[in-house]
Amino acid sequence: MGCLVAVVAFVALGMIGATMEAMEGPGGGKVKAILGGLAAVVIGGLAYRNYSRRKAAVTQVALEEAETRRLAELDRQRAAANHAREQQEAADAERSRQRRWENLVARFGEQNARRIVDRDLWVGATTEMVLEMFGPPSDVSEKVLKTKTKRVYRYDAFGGPRGLKIKLDNDEVVGWEK
């Protein structure tokens, strides 16, 4: 657009200059000089405006590229931080599992600890073992008789749609229903 304006201005000035030459009157040389200077100023201004626009466009592209590189670096740093956090969490979880295993082995022996970790319920398991296997029950019913105490632990989250019902006599498992 700017080049077209420059060409039109240059042609118009040239026509005025030619007209002034034809006049051959006094001061014609001064008018030509003024018109030539004016043409130079207009053309120079248009050229500078085009240069400024191009420079601004190049600067904008450079800024956008720098911003893209900065955002990519931030993404890389976030990904590295997430990876490090995930590794730390995995290591913490493994240490926690190991401590729990060692605690269970110390309290119940290796065979019973394996059954507890696998949630493999058996007749004769104690209340403490059941609580280690499944956690606190969602419901407890208790009957105290002369010679024994009967409890029923209900777990809604285990054993299928109706849950798991564990029967204990004197703190030992005697049966269960899924």
Per-residue pLDDT at 106 = 97
116-157 pLDDT, tens digit each: 999 999 999 999 999 999 999 999 999 999 999 999 999 988
CA distances from 166 to 4, 28, 104, 112, 118 (A): 93, 118, 21, 18, 17
Please report, for the chain, the start and end positions of each structural domain, with discontinuous segments joined by +.
2-85, 121-177
17-66 pLDDT, tens digit each: 555 555 555 655 666 666 566 666 667 776 777 777 888 888 888 889 99
Confidence of residue 12 (pLDDT cuts 50, 70, 90): low
Per-residue pLDDT at 178 = 85
User: H helices then E strands: how many in the chain?
Assistant: 4, 4
Average pLDDT, integer, range 110-119? 96
DSSP 159: S
Q: Measured between alpha carbons, how far is 130 from 144 in angstroms, rounded to an integer?
A: 20
User: Which tokens is 168 given?
Assistant: 């204990």
CATH of domain 121-177: 3.30.1450.10
Are 35 and 13 spatial neighbours (Cβ–Cβ below 8 Å)? yes
